[in-house]
């Protein structure tokens, strides 16, 4: 059994908590929160853009701590799950690794690549794993696409278009702060940069044009270049001020013998497919595959299962790898740089 200390009881902490309840072999045995109410099990103030609202939680048998240092002193904890605001990820991860714990950190890994490197090196020194919660590859539509790409069944990947747009989350504290959250580039678009890096490899250059807000990218279009000049990838992401469409994401992925299409949006409070997962084949057919796991919570359960597998086998899952998460942040930063400098920017470590 893998014993987990959950650091931070906000929306993502709540979602992770629910996922742990459904995955055997791994369990939350301790929580750390500065909120007396949450340490007492009153999580009813938690709300998010999917899943159930927070509830009164029975914390019988769960150790509760006011700060991370108290939780890290528990020798029975094997792994710390960090669901704190992004600005706190690095310090807490470094403390946890120093205390001999594995780390599972919600995305983004950190707000700078320098901090990502600190965390990766600290994990190497401590001989512990640092795993990163990029859940998108576990969503059924993206899992389907990744499987189709990796299988080679439809030939070589030729490129694709990726879209992720939300209404301005004005209710989120510090969203437009580079020091705390990093705006939509690091909070939103990092999902797609991670998936692109996973599916397409590492880009060599990027050209991005868009709008800035408070020195952060607000809405933009990017064209990515790769060593293979025939691999054509573009992205659109950011926020819009109208609240009628809370969320939208999707893709069109081109393979030699098929095109994969998908688009989902929350409009007027109702989530619906604008284009269901669809495969266009070379015979002129438009096929809609039947995908399991439509509830987002099931994707987080799959992610936690992969975390448990990595810890038990000692082999870091590619999807959870911290170096991949770092590369996603590099790509985000290069897009912002391209916007600021109004020119093409090369990518490399």
169 lies in the same domain as 262: yes
pTM: 0.95
226 lies in the same domain as 305: no
Q: Exposed (0-12), middle (13-18) or buried (19+): which is 312, by Cβ within 10 Å?
A: exposed
Beta bridge partners of 132: 105
Q: What is the CATH number of the domain that holds 35?
A: 3.40.50.720
Strand, coil or helix: 250? strand
pLDDT at 173: 83
201 lies in the same domain as 92: no
334 lies in the same domain as 185: yes
Place of tokens 């400098």: 341
88 lies in the same domain as 156: no
Q: Exposed (0-12), middle (13-18) or buried (19+): which is 73, by Cβ within 10 Å?
A: exposed
143 lies in the same domain as 241: yes
φ and ψ at 249, to 5 degrees? -150, 155
Domain count, the chain: 2
147 lies in the same domain as 129: no
Whether 205 and 321 have beta carbons less than 8 Å apart is answered as no
156 lies in the same domain as 281: yes
Whether 280 and 259 have beta carbons less than 8 Å apart is answered as yes
Kind of pairing between the strands at 270-281 and 286-287 = antiparallel
pLDDT at 102: 98
**What tens-digit pLDDT sequence spans the chain (349 residues)?**
999 999 999 889 999 999 999 999 999 999 999 999 999 998 988 877 677 888 899 999 999 999 999 999 999 999 999 999 999 999 999 999 999 999 999 999 999 999 999 999 999 999 999 999 999 999 999 999 999 999 999 999 999 999 999 999 887 889 999 999 999 999 999 999 999 999 999 999 999 999 999 899 999 999 999 999 999 999 999 999 999 999 999 999 999 999 999 999 999 888 899 999 999 999 999 999 999 877 888 999 999 999 999 999 999 999 999 999 999 999 999 999 999 999 999 997 5
Cβ within 8 Å of residue 28, ≥6 positions away: 4, 5, 6, 17, 20, 62, 81
57 lies in the same domain as 113: yes
Cβ within 8 Å of residue 61, ≥6 positions away: 29
171 lies in the same domain as 151: yes
pLDDT at 349: 58
283 lies in the same domain as 335: yes
Structure tokens at 334: 């290069």
Provide the residue range defining the domain that includes 180. Answer: 136-294+328-346
Q: If you ran DSSP here, which 8-state letter would residue 193 be given?
A: H
CA distance 277 to 268: 22
Question: Which alpha helices (H) appear in the chain, and where do they start and end?
Answer: 11-20, 36-39, 68-72, 89-98, 113-126, 140-151, 183-184, 190-200, 296-313, 322-341
Cβ within 8 Å of residue 227, ≥6 positions away: 201, 204
Structure tokens at 29: 């045995």
254 lies in the same domain as 264: yes
Q: What is the 3-state secondary structure of 25-79? A: CEEEEEEECCCHHHHCCECCCCCCCCCCCCCECCCCCCEEECCHHHHHCCCCCCE
Q: What is the CATH number of the domain that holds 177?
A: 3.30.360.10
């Amino acid at each position: 059994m893998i014993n987990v200390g959950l650091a931070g009881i906000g929306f993502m902490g709540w979602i992770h908590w629910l996922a742990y309840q459904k995955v055997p072999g791994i369990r939350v045995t301790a929580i750390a929160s500065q909120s007396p109410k949450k340490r007492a099990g009153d999580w009813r103030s938690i709300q998010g853009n999917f899943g159930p609202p927070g509830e009164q939680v029975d914390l019988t048998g769960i150790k509760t701590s006011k700060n991370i240092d108290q939780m890290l002193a528990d020798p029975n904890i094997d792994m710390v799950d960090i669901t704190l605001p992004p600005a706190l990820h690095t310090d807490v991860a470094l403390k946890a690794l120093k205390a001999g714990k594995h780390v599972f950190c919600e995305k983004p890994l950190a707000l700078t690549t320098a901090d990502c490197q600190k965390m990766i090196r600290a994990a190497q020194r401590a001989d512990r794993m640092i795993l990163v919660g990029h859940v998108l590859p576990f969503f059924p539509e993206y899992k389907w696409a990744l499987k189709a790409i990796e299988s080679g069944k439809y030939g070589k990947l030729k490129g694709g278009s990726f879209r992720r747009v939300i209404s301005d989350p004005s209710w989120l504290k510090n969203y437009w702060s580079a020091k705390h959250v990093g705006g939509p580039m690091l909070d939103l678009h990092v999902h797609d940069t991670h998936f692109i890096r996973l599916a397409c490899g590492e880009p060599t250059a990027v050209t991005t044009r868009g709008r800035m807000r408070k020195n952060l990218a607000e809405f933009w279009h990017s064209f990515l270049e790769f060593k293979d000049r025939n691999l054509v990838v573009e992205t659109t992401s950011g926020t819009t001020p109208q609240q009628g469409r809370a969320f939208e994401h999707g893709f069109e992925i081109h393979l030699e013998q098929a095109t994969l299409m998908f688009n989902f949006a929350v409009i007027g409070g109702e989530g619906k497919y604008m284009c269901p997962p669809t495969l266009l084949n070379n015979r002129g057919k438009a096929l809609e595959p039947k995908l399991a796991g439509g509830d987002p919570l099931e994707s987080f359960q799959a992610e936690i299962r992969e975390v448990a597998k990595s810890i038990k086998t000692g082999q870091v899952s590619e999807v959870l790898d911290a170096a991949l998460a770092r590369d996603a942040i590099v790509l985000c930063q290069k897009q912002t740089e391209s916007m600021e400098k109004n020119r093409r920017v090369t990518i490399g470590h």
